[in-house]
């Protein structure tokens, strides 16, 4: 009897223990869910504020305070990840299913293409109607992916940067997805692309922003045919990698990603080059891809857009650039020597043959001073430059010397600056005026003589010249304005007997100063 009673007691205690354990087990998920919910509340609040803030930034120019808050919220929602470990290679990773495609670790880098993104809204179709471009985030970086969907009646297309199919993470803080399709579902053709960056509202059928955190996903039912998905950053200047997945269950998905930009140097003495390139590999497409211009064509110097397509399927394009690395050669004419013309003018009109450049591309040549200019008495260096369209340059120079032929009876030389000199003839009125050794004015003035005092004046439209000399005391002064009202230089000469006058190669009857004699 006692053994039966003890057995019954043990059984009762075990049942109580099992019941308590089951209660603990049942309560554990509730405690975990509550803790998880408390942990999610700050993130959800930040995400909600971010969405509200971005709507405000879309509808009006953003303030500095809004931009600062935007970046702080992004940091809270998408904390920075460690940069260590292997760097993911940018490549195309096709999935096993015909209706799925994946781009792994594609991204935006500084200097990439940009466009003015349509303005966003939270309600479907995800963009403001009628479509307008956004104020914040205009000129954002973008990548375009074209696809062909067939083999189904009403495909449901899901495009995502959330990493649901081809990985997660990346370094791009924020993305926006846009989807484009022509009304007739046809493919892109030259002059009629599915997506045109210069007309970002044309053919736009859907958009999504912040579907998962600050990343995006868009799901739409569309007719079979060709379409383009555009992945953009939210604001200009945001760079980084992202993962892009496309899923069309039960359909055939033909995708075509081009091989990428190509850069080549010009062929010797050719303004271009024959370039062989890799067009890219279509995935799950029928037919053979063709490109225009074809690989192996002659491409001119500069940038050419190569467009590749699959018959009845998607197309893609990439830039092909031929750089002109050949520098032109330029040979100048021999030095030129001539006399002033007319005599006493202090200058001569000189024409010369503009040198011809040799180069692989059309080249322009410019010289300073140009042929046909009025060269002053003395020596002037002519500098010539050859420039091709790629801004490769070559230079050469030659000298033009104009000799003075007119004799002068008198001169004045500044006491403080011997380079300020005026030569003149008291009979004819011919003069030549130099400032700092350079001819600034020459011509014929009006002479007025009263005893030993001589005055020369030239009040022409382009200058004002005044020279006074008192031969009884060997003193004089002079000034020149060119144009009138703008002083160029002046002369104060308190002793004309010790002058050594040279102005632009002229001279005449003016004797040099005695040896070692200086102006006082």
Whether 172 contacts 108, CB under 8 Å: yes
311: tokens are 């018959």
**What backbone phi and psi angles, to 5 degrees, belong to 374?**
-90, 110
CA–CA gap between residue 196 and residue 368 (Å, rounded): 46
85: tokens are 């470990």
- Specify which residues 449 forms β-bridges with: 454
Whether 261 contacts 318, CB under 8 Å: yes
Question: What does pTM read for this prediction?
Answer: 0.57
Torsion of CA 85, 91, 95, 99, to 10 degrees: 130
* Sign of torsion over alpha carbons 427, 429, 434, 437: negative
Whether 360 contacts 390, CB under 8 Å: no
**What backbone phi and psi angles, to 5 degrees, belong to 9?**
-65, -45
pLDDT given at position 398: 96
What are the domain boundaries of the chain?
91-255, 262-323, 329-403, 407-508
What is residue 3's three-state secondary structure?
helix
Whether 404 contacts 504, CB under 8 Å: yes
Whether 134 contacts 117, CB under 8 Å: yes
Q: CATH number for the 91-255 domain, one of 3.40.50.11900, 3.30.70.3040, 2.60.120.380, 3.30.70.1900?
A: 2.60.120.380
pLDDT digits (tens, 9 = 90+) for 76-130: 665 543 333 333 333 444 443 468 888 766 788 887 888 999 999 888 899 999 9
pLDDT given at position 40: 54
Q: Which residues of the chain have pLDDT under 70?
A: 1-44, 46, 64, 71, 74-98, 104-105, 164-165, 167-169, 344, 504-520
pLDDT given at position 344: 67
Domain 329-403 class, CATH top level: mainly beta
Q: How far, CA to CA in Å, does 426 sit from each of 370, 439, 501?
A: 35, 19, 16
């Amino acid at each position: 009897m006692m053994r039966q009673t003890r057995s019954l007691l043990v059984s009762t205690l075990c049942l109580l223990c099992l019941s308590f354990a089951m209660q603990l087990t049942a309560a554990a998920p509730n405690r975990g869910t509550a803790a998880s919910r408390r942990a999610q509340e700050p993130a959800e609040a930040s995400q909600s504020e971010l969405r509200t803030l971005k709507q405000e930034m879309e509808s009006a120019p953003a303030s500095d305070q809004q931009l600062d808050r935007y970046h702080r919220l992004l940091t809270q929602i998408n904390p920075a990840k460690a940069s260590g470990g292997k760097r993911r290679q940018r490549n195309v990773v096709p999935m096993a299913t015909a209706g799925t495609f994946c781009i792994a670790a594609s991204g935006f880098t500084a200097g990439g293409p940009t466009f003015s993104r349509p303005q966003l809204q939270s309600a479907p179709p995800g963009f403001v109607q009628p479509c307008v471009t956004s104020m914040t985030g205009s000129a954002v970086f973008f990548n375009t992916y074209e696809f062909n969907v067939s083999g189904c009646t009403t495909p449901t297309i899901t495009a995502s940067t959330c990493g649901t199919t081809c990985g997660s993470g990346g370094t791009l803080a924020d993305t926006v997805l846009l989807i484009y399709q022509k009304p007739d579902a046809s493919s892109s053709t030259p002059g009629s692309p599915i997506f045109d960056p210069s007309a970002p509202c044309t053919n736009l059928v859907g958009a999504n922003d912040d579907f998962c955190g600050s990343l995006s996903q868009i799901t739409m039912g569309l007719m079979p045919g060709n379409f383009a998905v555009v992945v953009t950053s939210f604001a200009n200047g945001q760079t980084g990698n992202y993962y892009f997945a496309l899923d069309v269950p039960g359909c055939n998905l033909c995708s075509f990603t081009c091989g990428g930009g190509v850069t080549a140097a010009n062929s010797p003495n050719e303004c271009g080059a024959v370039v062989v390139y890799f067009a890219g590999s279509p995935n799950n497409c029928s037919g053979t891809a063709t490109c225009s211009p074809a690989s192996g064509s002659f491409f001119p110097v500069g940038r050419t857009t190569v467009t590749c397509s699959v018959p009845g399927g998607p197309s893609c394009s990439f830039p092909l650039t031929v750089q002109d690395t050949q520098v032109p050669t330029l040979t100048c004419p021999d030095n030129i020597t001539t006399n002033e013309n007319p005599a006493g003018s202090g200058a001569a009109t000189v024409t010369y043959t503009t040198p011809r450049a040799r180069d692989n591309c059309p080249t322009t040549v410019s010289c300073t001073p140009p042929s046909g200019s009025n060269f002053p008495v003395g020596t002037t260096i002519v500098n010539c430059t050859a420039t091709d369209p790629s801004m490769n340059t070559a230079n050469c120079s030659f000298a033009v010397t104009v000799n003075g032929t007119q004799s002068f009876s008198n001169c004045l030389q500044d006491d403080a600056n011997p380079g300020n000199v005026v030569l003149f003839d008291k009979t004819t009125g011919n003069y030549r005026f130099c400032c700092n050794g350079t001819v600034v004015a020459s011509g014929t003035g009006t002479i007025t003589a009263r005893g030993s005092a001589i005055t020369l004046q030239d009040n022409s439209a382009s200058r004002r010249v005044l020279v006074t000399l008192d031969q009884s005391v060997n003193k004089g002064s002079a000034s020149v304005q060119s144009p009138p009202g703008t002083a160029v230089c002046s002369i104060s000469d308190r002793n004309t007997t010790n002058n050594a006058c040279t102005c632009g190669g002229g001279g005449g009857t003016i004797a040099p100063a005695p040896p070692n004699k200086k102006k006082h």
